Structure 1
Amino acid sequence: MSALEDLVRPSLARIVAPGDGYAPERGEDEYWGSGFFIAPGWLLTCAHVVGKGGAQVWRSRSPVGVTWQGGTTTGEVVLAKPRPEPAQASRGRWDFPDIALVRVHGADDARCIWLSDRAPTIPAPVSLHGWSRQTGALGLRHGVGEASGRDGKALLLTGALPVEGLSGGPVVDLRHGSVIAMNKGVRQTEGAAVPVTALRELYDVRGGDILHTVMREHDLHHLARFNRPGAGTDWTRVQTELRDPGVPGLTPAQRLHLYGHLAQLPPPSGPGEIADLVQEAKSRVVQSDFRSPFPEDLRTWREGAALLHGLRDLGDKAGRPELDLDAVLLYAAKAALHTVLARPGDTDPERLRDFTRWIEEQAVLYAQPVIREDIARLLDDVRRPEAPRFRGAVPASEPPSRTGADVLVDIGEPVYGERYPLSVRLLYDGRDVTPLYSNDLGVRRHELQEHLREPLAEALRLGDRGEHLAVIEAFLPRALLDEPIDEWRLVPEGDGDGAAGEGDEYEETDFFDEQSMPLGLRRTVLLRDRRRNAKPPIPEWRRRWTATERGPLSGIPLRGESTDTGHASGARREGRYGTLRRLSGSGDGCVPVFCGPVGSGAGRQAMDVALAAGHPLVLWRRDGHDHDECRTFHRSAARLLSLAGRAEGLHAHVRDLRIGASDPDIALSEGLTGRIAVLYDPPDRPPYGTEPMRPPPLAGPQAF
């Protein structure tokens, strides 16, 4: 038996039907699948494995049976994703991430695997582990293969493939000595596994904050085993043996101690908080402000450090090809200081002293002099957080932290019939654009929300930072300007946010959770004209935008026959040139207002004219209604524009109006009607498809 197999076996578990124990002769349905301990008392498996127990198990109302080297006990499903459709609750296809976290009673002494801290390098030699009854009798199964590629969220396997019963078992990277994935299933000649980075998706499930505790216990468990006298072999020592002799950079033992210290810090508030510190450390060490065009959805301090070990300066400017120790130690010092400044009451002083002492010792031994000085200054500020953060000049090569990002959603003109291509990007600092998702084949209009839901959720997580709440800017074809993007939700209506069952057994959604409430009730959602933004701005557009930024704002009918005196049935329709004459001659601070949809018909014709006349703001009602309601709508719009004062002021007042109109009692008492939509289309924002992309970071995974 290899050293790695010897480490994996004690952490393996069988997931079985609850009862007095497990005996194979009790029937095939008693055995559900495999699992493995990632922290004392915490087990990871596939969602479809625990899904065999039905809604009661999924919703933690009924236990699962767990048998491992330490005995037989029960556990409860704490987090799981995706929520199954009713027909999938016990059998059938399960989409990715297909992952579940189980709290196991009486397993606090369980041996645990080492979870990889970053996405796997492809190709990679791997071993597959778990329980199987492929040969008839239930037994441990171990095979060797290769992680050969990716397909969407799946890690593809060749050679040894997952077989029946192996689902939920670990996939071990034989080169680095870490668990990189979990067996899921097989299709034809290749297997599919769930990368351990899919754990990040569970943070957004209701109760997902418990993962911070789990990962903390994971790192402290391994540190304790490494430091325990006479404990025998452990993951860190095996990783050290796998590492090529003489390879510079962060060692497995250094990484373990670093992660143990980081585990004692309060968890980060979001991905942006970690990404800022990673970028600062990387830019300082490499002496260039490289920004990755593919941001990571980081959730823990350890994941930030993982992006830095293996960092290399390919130009070897400083005479050292390996710079990861400099970057990792600088990042650690920055994380310590950030925690002291942002969460002063949540940091244990004694553990913080231990951390800073460890950083200091490592920096003296391994860091370059200039980085050592930076670290010393940061640690001095950690010890005296009331003093200014930088008592000397800030190094010129260190860029300021990004304050957050906004989200660009681009829905293109239809292709292949009525299919709209999609993309989601992040806009940093109003200039740098980073792609996150694209679908060039396109989807039908009724599928837009379904296909954009997950990319939007990821983009908003990455964009929100500190007090910055990411704005959604949707570039739309004019036929889609009535699409209610502000009413979209990040989870389907009725989704129990990770809980599952059948029929009425689903949990009620927490409406005021960020994932559940309509986007426009919490954050700013801007509608922008895709066609106009593909060209240089015309002078009228710039002039009118300057006026609306300055204010005041006033309303003007988008169509001449629909005014604040009402929309008389059978009134003569204004022609295009009449509309152009009136809108072109209006004051630069005037905002066209229309009591009806603008994606087709008379509203679309008038919207085309308003855009040609350079109007950056348009206010309308996207839903159907009686003509008698138009007088009320125009007067409400005039009041809204007066209160807003200028373009920037519209956001809060539109949001307030939407919240009020969503409540029947408020809407009735205040005379609020309709589903309001706003075109908010400033010129001179970066063209969403023509920004210069920055080069990727100079990083490459190395043996550690």
Structure 2
Amino acid sequence: MAEHERAVNVFDEIVRPSLVRIAAPGGGYDPHGAHYWGSGFFIAPGWVLTCAHVVGKGEAAVWRGERALGITWQGGETTGEVVLAKPRPADPEEPPYRWEFPDIALVHVPDALDAACVWLSERPLAIPADVSLHGWSRETGDLGIRHGVGTAHATDGKALLLRGSLPVEGCSGGPVVDLKHGAVIGMNKGRGEHEGAAVPITALRELHDLRGGEIIHTVLREHDRHHLRRFRSTAAAGGGWTRAQADLRKGAPGFLPAARAHLFGRLAELPPPAGPGEVMALVDEVKRRVLHSEYQSPVEHDPRTWRDGAGLLHDLPRHETGRDRDVESVLLYAAKVVRHLAGRGGAERPDAAALTALAEWIPTQAESAHLAIREEIAEVLDLGEVPAPVAGFESARERPAGHARADVLVEVDPVHYGDRYPWRVKLLFDGRGVEPVCGDDRGVPRRHLRETLREPLARALRLGDAGEHLASVEALLPRELFDEPLDTWRLAPDDADGDDFDEHSMALGERRIVVIRDRKRLDRPASPEWRRRWKAAVRGPLAVVPLRGEVPASGHGPGSRRETRRAAYARLSDAEDGTVPVYCGPVGSGDGLDAMAAALAAGHPLALWRRCGQEHSDCMEFHVRAQELLGRADGADGLHRHIRALRIISMDPDATPDTVAEAAWAGSVAVLFDPPDRPPYDGVPLQVPPRIDGNGT
């Protein structure tokens, strides 16, 4: 108990210089708090984190980007402006009645570059956790700094739930400190009758996804630089956060706080990762090296910085020989970051001196590590070929060079309740392992699928992308949804600025491979003809067979002879291996649906069609052009590049008339690309993760 109380007092003293009170400009020193709005804390020199509802008390001026916030801390008084916030009122004149999670705001305070800063946790949250709560309050009358102790005992997917000493009025926006590890894990939001709520510090990642959110990388870089400078400085009273953390860890194994401060400070000098998948790919490689070759994390994390990746390597089980896997894993990860960034070019190329400094520092920390890990690190830092497995380690299943970390699987089940389609979004590793990201087993109506899946899909794509290598999208759909235009979906909300041109505003099919797979035939083992035809499709060449026999000869006119489903099945069964059914109309209903069912029964793994209606006269041209396309593809895998190029041209509003005419036949083209033996496997129940909310949590 005495140690616990000592830790509370230590971190109360360390937190105080970082605490700010937020008020109307000029009202910060009001002793009675008449103009006081709430608390906040410095996370980097010149940058304050607080709750959106705290800064929202400044009304419209705050949301117009004015320096409308009064900021007072131990170093003085100045003003600040909100740079990022979530939620942010759509209309600055009408703030929301209720501030939903994540309820977070980043404030720029350019006149506070000498401010002390808290240490932000890089670890995944471990619950329960003993915590201390800090902030300014006027609950006892005059404004003053208050702190209390409690327990973060649970999470509801969005909030940390607190028991014990709960946040009091005015503490909103103040930090919540994990007393075991000495790091800020959250931010006070409010209290209910029996428990309080805090915003997890990981909510910073949601700001990263907003327009202008790349500034988060700059802020976190300055955070780590600050703490390394402070640790090195003998002027820092008591050594600050790093030395306090070291006192907590006395005698404990693992990657020690001093080494961590040095590592994070060096990582801060390097270009940031392009997305969480780039970090997770390296974390996965390390865990497969030091744990076992088939390791796959049971939980998908969302790291945005290289420091986050190191945090995911804490608390690994010790080796049976007693070796400390924490140290070995973090240093091996750091070495892999060096090797990974050494291959970057152009604007993302790292500073050579910074990269060299990190590469030279890593071996100095590995002296106590097992010989095998030292040899492994040396080979990785040699920046030559990928090293062979070292004695004493499991052989790793490394991500193939030039591939995404994972592809994204969108599963939609047939209607279960009324008109509602259950759905799941998963990561698909190496074409064989799946990891759920999120889903809803109650489902949504078809008209809401696009809006509902936008955030989960964006999150999964971030986790699947590895640098410039982009995840593909595989949509496992009921046949009546085959005409759903997934390739035209955008990750940007419908109300986003129409003048933007970036990866979020572009249609999915312009940047990525987007294909459709059949949900129904995966309910039973793959048929022999399906397997045979897939092997032929991979070998190539590919050729056209009409999905419906009366098209293109007589088109879709009222006088055309209608081919029955069994007649279509007989003809498509007799088609040569390597042929691809092609149709110049939709397949989600009517004759197209009947013919598609026949093609799938006949074992065809590939098909091309367009989602336009029946009223057109270019059926023959569509089939001729499709034959030319398939001839150029030279096998199933070669099809993707040509389809994507056509989609880009057909979606280009500024293309020349000749270019548009060349690609017009492929407008709204859809692709069935459905190999057998692709997850989910025969006989394996589909996993349904918990329903998510609108924030993708």
Give yes or no for TM over 0.5: yes
Q: TM-score, normalization: structure 2?
A: 0.87
Task: State the 1:520 CA deviation.
Answer: 1.0
Task: Supply the AA of the counterpart residue of 1:402.
Answer: R
Higher relative contact order (CA 8 A, sep 6+): 1
Counting only pairs closer than 5 Å after superposition, residues 348-387 of structure 1 correspond to structure 2 as: 348=351, 350-352=353-355, 354-364=357-367, 366-379=368-381, 381=382, 385=383
- Structure 2 counterpart of 1:618, from 599, 607, 611: 607
Counting only pairs closer than 5 Å after superposition, residues 512-591 of structure 1 correspond to structure 2 as: 512-563=501-552, 565-591=554-580
- Contact 1:52-1:89 within 8 A present in 2 as well: no
CA distance in 2, matches of 1:632, 1:337: 50
Counting only pairs closer than 5 Å after superposition, residues 392-541 of structure 1 correspond to structure 2 as: 397-403=394-400, 404-495=405-496, 508-509=497-498, 511-541=500-530
CA distance in 2, matches of 1:133, 1:547: 75
Equivalenced residue count is 669
Q: 1:278 to 1:430 in 2, by over 3 A?
A: same
Structure 1 position 5 matched with structure 2 position 18: no
Sequence identity percentage = 57
Segment drifting more, 4-13 vs 542-551: 542-551
Structure 1 position 74 matched with structure 2 position 79: yes
- Contact 1:569-1:627 within 8 A present in 2 as well: no
Q: Classify the secondary structure of the residue corresponding to 1:14.
A: strand
Q: 1:103 to 1:582 in 2, by over 3 A?
A: same
Q: TM-score, normalization: structure 1?
A: 0.86
Task: State the 1:158 CA deviation.
Answer: 2.3
Q: Deviations over 1:546-575 (max 9, x none)?
A: 333333333333233442543212544332
Counting only pairs closer than 5 Å after superposition, residues 588-603 of structure 1 correspond to structure 2 as: 588-603=577-592
Q: Classify the secondary structure of the residue corresponding to 1:38.
A: strand
CA distance in 2, matches of 1:82, 1:319: 47
Task: State the 1:67 CA deviation.
Answer: 2.4
- Contact 1:555-1:593 within 8 A present in 2 as well: yes
- Contact 1:493-1:516 within 8 A present in 2 as well: no
Task: State the 1:305 CA deviation.
Answer: 1.7
CA distance in 1, matches of 2:682, 2:299: 16
Q: 1:149 to 1:643 in 2, by over 3 A?
A: same
CA distance in 1, matches of 2:159, 2:202: 11
Q: 1:336 to 1:635 in 2, by over 3 A?
A: closer
Task: Supply the AA of the counterpart residue of 1:333.
Answer: A
- Contact 2:276-2:303 within 8 A present in 1 as well: yes
Structure 1 gaps of 5+ residues are 496-507, 694-704
- Contact 2:372-2:390 within 8 A present in 1 as well: no
Counting only pairs closer than 5 Å after superposition, residues 306-321 of structure 1 correspond to structure 2 as: 306-313=311-318, 316-320=319-323
- Contact 1:116-1:179 within 8 A present in 2 as well: yes
CA distance in 2, matches of 1:377, 1:541: 45
Task: Supply the AA of the counterpart residue of 1:426.
Answer: L
Q: Deviations over 1:35-70 (max 9, x none)?
A: 211010111122343345456633535543322222
CA distance in 1, matches of 2:391, 2:361: 24
Task: Supply the AA of the counterpart residue of 1:93.
Answer: R
Task: Supply the AA of the counterpart residue of 1:412.
Answer: D
Task: State the 1:591 CA deviation.
Answer: 2.4
CA distance in 1, matches of 2:342, 2:599: 52
Please name the residue that 1:329 is paired with: 331
Q: Deviations over 1:66-122 (max 9, x none)?
A: 222222222233333344444995132334333222221210011111100122210
- Contact 1:555-1:641 within 8 A present in 2 as well: yes
Task: State the 1:423 CA deviation.
Answer: 1.5
Structure 1 position 239 matched with structure 2 position 236: no
Q: 1:443 to 1:24 in 2, by over 3 A?
A: farther
Q: Deviations over 1:218-274 (max 9, x none)?
A: 12212222222242231122222323x432222222222222222233323333333
Q: 1:189 to 1:486 in 2, by over 3 A?
A: farther
CA distance in 2, matches of 1:3, 1:49: 27
Q: Deviations over 1:506-538 (max 9, x none)?
A: xx2553211222111110111100111232211
Q: 1:603 to 1:267 in 2, by over 3 A?
A: same
Please name the residue that 2:178 is paired with: 173
CA distance in 1, matches of 2:119, 2:9: 16
Please name the residue that 1:503 is paired with: none
Please name the residue that 2:195 is paired with: 190
Q: Classify the secondary structure of the residue corresponding to 1:648.
A: coil
CA distance in 2, matches of 1:84, 1:618: 46
Structure 1 position 680 matched with structure 2 position 680: no
Q: CA RMSD in A?
A: 3.2
- Structure 2 counterpart of 1:272, from 277, 282, 303: 277
Task: State the 1:677 CA deviation.
Answer: 1.7
Task: State the 1:349 CA deviation.
Answer: 5.0
Q: 1:412 to 1:9 in 2, by over 3 A?
A: same
Task: Supply the AA of the counterpart residue of 1:266.
Answer: P
Please name the residue that 1:652 is paired with: 641
Q: 1:648 to 1:341 in 2, by over 3 A?
A: closer
Q: Deviations over 1:120-142 (max 9, x none)?
A: 21011112222345566544342
Structure 1 position 14 matched with structure 2 position 17: no
- Structure 1 counterpart of 2:597, from 602, 608, 616: 608
Q: Deviations over 1:636-661 (max 9, x none)?
A: 44443344343323322322332333
CA distance in 1, matches of 2:483, 2:388: 54
- Contact 1:326-1:371 within 8 A present in 2 as well: yes
CA distance in 2, matches of 1:137, 1:562: 83
Q: Classify the secondary structure of the residue corresponding to 1:448.
A: helix
Counting only pairs closer than 5 Å after superposition, residues 97-246 of structure 1 correspond to structure 2 as: 97-134=102-139, 138-233=143-238, 234-243=240-249, 245-246=250-251
Task: State the 1:470 CA deviation.
Answer: 0.7
- Contact 1:402-1:428 within 8 A present in 2 as well: no
CA distance in 2, matches of 1:392, 1:192: 47
- Contact 1:521-1:655 within 8 A present in 2 as well: yes
